[in-house]
Amino acid sequence: MITVWGNADSINVQKVLWLCEEMAVQYRNIDPRLEFGAIRTPALLAINPNGLVPTIDDDGFVVWESNTIVRYLAAKYSAGQLWPTEAKLRADADRWIDWTNSTLWPTMVPLFRAFFRTAESERDAQAISIATQETIDCLSILNTHLGSNEYVGGQLFSMGDIALGCAAWRWRAMPLERVELRHVDRWLDRLEARPAYRKVVMLPLR
Ligand SMILES: N[C@@H](CCC(=O)N[C@@H](CS)C(=O)NCC(=O)O)C(=O)O
C-alpha cells in the first residue's frame, strides 16, 4: 500500500495523487494539516528531515521530492506506459519534468504569490506584468513543441505531462489576460478530458 503524505491542494502533492489515480494503484492520502493541524509533525519529520510534502511510504520504502516520487512510482507501477522504458522516449518525458521545475514554475511563482498570497490592494501591477510576460515566453516554447506532439513526451501521455500539467492548470486558472497559445490550450483540453486530472488537479486555487 502506498501512503501519500500531503495536502491535496498543493501543486507538488497533486503530481503524486494524480499519478496514483492514473495508474489505478491502491493508495491512501494523509493530510497532516487536516489530521494533526500542521505539516511538520514529528511523524513526518521522522521520515523526511525536510518536513515537506509530498512524502510517500511505499510498503516501507520512503521517498520525498515530488518529481523523484513521480519517477519512482511510474517506473515501479507503469513501466512501458507512463514511464517509457526506451531511453530516448524517457528522456523526452523527463526533460519536461525538469523544465517545469527549473524554468516554468519559477516564472509562475511571483504570479501565484501575487494572486493568492497578497491582498488585492497590495499587488504590484508592474511585477505581475513582467512575470506574466516571462511565463508567456516560457509557454511559447512549450506551445511550439506541442505543435507537433500530442503530449509533452511525444504522442502518448506520460509522466512528463504530470508535473507540467499541474503547473499549467494554475496558469489556466489564474485571473490573467490571455494570449493565444493554441497548442498549449489543446493539450490542456486533452488533460481536462482525463477524469483523474479533473478529480485531483482542477481544484479551486488557494
Ligand atoms: N522540492 C519539493 C518541495 C516540497 C514543498 O515545498 N512542499 C510544500 C507544499 S507544496 C510544503 O511541504 N510546505 C509545507 C511547509 O513549508 O511547512 C518537492 O518537489 O517535493
Predicted structure pTM score: 0.96
Ligand 1 shell residues, CB under 6 Å:
10-12, 39-40, 52-54, 65-67
Residue nearest to atom 12 of ligand 1 (CA): 52
Residues 6+ apart with CB under 8 A from 28: 1, 2, 3, 4
Question: DSSP secondary-structure letter at 81?
Answer: T
User: Of 38, 206, 187, nearest to 197 (Cα)?
Assistant: 187
Distance 37 CA to ligand 1 centre (A): 16
Burial class of residue 49 in the structure, from the number of CB atoms within 10 Å of its CB (0-12 exposed, 13-18 middle, 19+ buried): exposed
Q: What is the pLDDT of residue 127?
A: 93
79-114: pLDDT as tens digits: 999 999 999 999 999 999 999 999 999 999 999 999
Question: Environment class of residue 202 by beta-carbon count within 10 Å: exposed (0-12), middle (13-18) or buried (19+)?
Answer: middle
In whole angstroms, how far apart are CA 120 and each of 115, 124, 125, 128?
Answer: 8, 9, 10, 12
Cα 49 to middle of ligand 1, angstroms: 12
Mutate to test the pocket of ligand 1, among 12, 36, 116 (most ligand atoms within 8 A of CB): 12
Give just the sign of the alpha carbon dihedral 13, 16, 20, 25: negative
Q: Which of 53, 67, 100, 113 to mutate to test the pocket of ligand 1 (most atoms within 8 A of CB)?
A: 53
Binned at pLDDT 50, 70 and 90, residue 178 comes out as: confident
pLDDT score of 206: 80
The letter for the amino acid at 192 is E
pLDDT, tens only, 9-42: 999 999 999 999 999 999 999 998 888 888 899 9
Query: Where does residue 76 rank: exposed (0-12), middle (13-18), buried (19+ CB within 10 A)?
Result: middle
Strand partners, 79: 83
